[in-house]
Structure 1
């Protein structure tokens, strides 16, 4: 799968997560137009100059990705920037994405991630390094699937939830909105909205 970008991408965020997003863009031979951040003391990221956000430096129609790992902050930035921003998608050249997958705007897929057929991914989702998403999963907006997490087949993840690093969700499970699945957890039951769970969840 290739990025459909002509003039490069805009990146909003200049933290460690942004470095991984930028690496994904570069892996496909695409340039970075501008990197923005809300911290005026942040001036450089991977050699790119970082600017405090100024709408005048964004060319209307240019593709942007919000490179912020925390779901709530990412959502607030999208809401603050408003409808004039056009969002792109980033998938690292070393990710594996079935042609039968649907990815929403602003979504990023990192190196080593695998997404299998008939998966539906919402807007501004992170499928992080080495994560595996098997067939027929549905991932809603502003979700973060952390490094090496595994969603087995037909899993549903609600808006704003975090699936922690190295966790495993067995087939057919439903995870509600704004949930936290702790790192290394094994999820054997449905998880209700707002729950935080760790360990073997049964």
Structure 2
């Protein structure tokens, strides 16, 4: 398989691939200063003609960059689930998504394309996670939570049941969210106070 991205997140995904018995045949990055990740040499910029039958994952944590790059890829995408993750059989997972070590995803949840469910995150029943979302390490989503496209849920945050978080939102690390979050909002703290709303 192939990876696009040579930062710290790529190292995590390379480890997941190894634990899943996969071999990284090429690792692309547009930064030609980068030479290796987790002992894997960086091949150079993305090459549409290299290993054309191998699937690829965009190994970049930034949601907006991941979304932009996805439209430039001609290889087919694949998802990875670390063997230590617990994913109920009723869960649906889109393509290009990575489920990291120790994550739990409960019954009837829907995970979109190019999503990151990071280390030790817990997603309870009937949650809906849209494309390009990043659920950071240690996040807890209670039942029936909906997260809009390209939103980031910061490390250690807790989202109460039946809450909807809009597109392009940022929930600061350690936040407790007990009410709906509008599109483009940045929220932080135990009261999930809206700090600002970005232009969409």
Establish whether TM, by shorter chain, passes 0.5: yes
1:123 is aligned, of 107, 113, 117, to 113
> Does the C-alpha gap of structure 1 residues 54 and 66 become closer, same or farther in structure 2, counting only changes over 3 Å?
closer
Structure 1 residue 79, shift from structure 2 partner: 1.7
Normalised to the residue count of structure 1, the TM-score between the two structures is 0.92
Matches for 1:27-176 after TM superposition, within 5 Å: 27-81=19-73, 84-176=74-166
Cα contact 1:25–1:90 (8 A) shared by 2: yes
The corresponding residue for 1:13 is: 5
Q: Which shifted more, 44-53 or 159-168?
A: 44-53
Residue aligned with 2:42, SS: strand
Cα contact 2:30–2:46 (8 A) shared by 1: no
Segments of 4+ moved more than 4 angstroms: none
Structure 1 residue 54, shift from structure 2 partner: 3.9
Cα contact 1:132–1:148 (8 A) shared by 2: yes
Deviation by residue 1:126-176 (Cα, 9 ceiling, x = unmatched): 000000000000000000000000100000000000000000001000000
Equivalent-residue separation in structure 2 for 1:75 and 1:197 (angstroms) = 22
Residue aligned with 2:43, SS: strand
The corresponding residue for 1:4 is: none
Equivalent-residue separation in structure 2 for 1:54 and 1:196 (angstroms) = 33
Normalised to the residue count of structure 2, the TM-score between the two structures is 0.93
Unaligned runs of 5+ in 1: 1-8
Cα contact 1:40–1:51 (8 A) shared by 2: no
> Does the C-alpha gap of structure 1 residues 27 and 168 become closer, same or farther in structure 2, counting only changes over 3 Å?
same
Structure 1 residue 56, shift from structure 2 partner: 4.6
Equivalent-residue separation in structure 2 for 1:54 and 1:114 (angstroms) = 33
Residue aligned with 1:11, SS: strand
Structure 1 residue 29, shift from structure 2 partner: 1.5
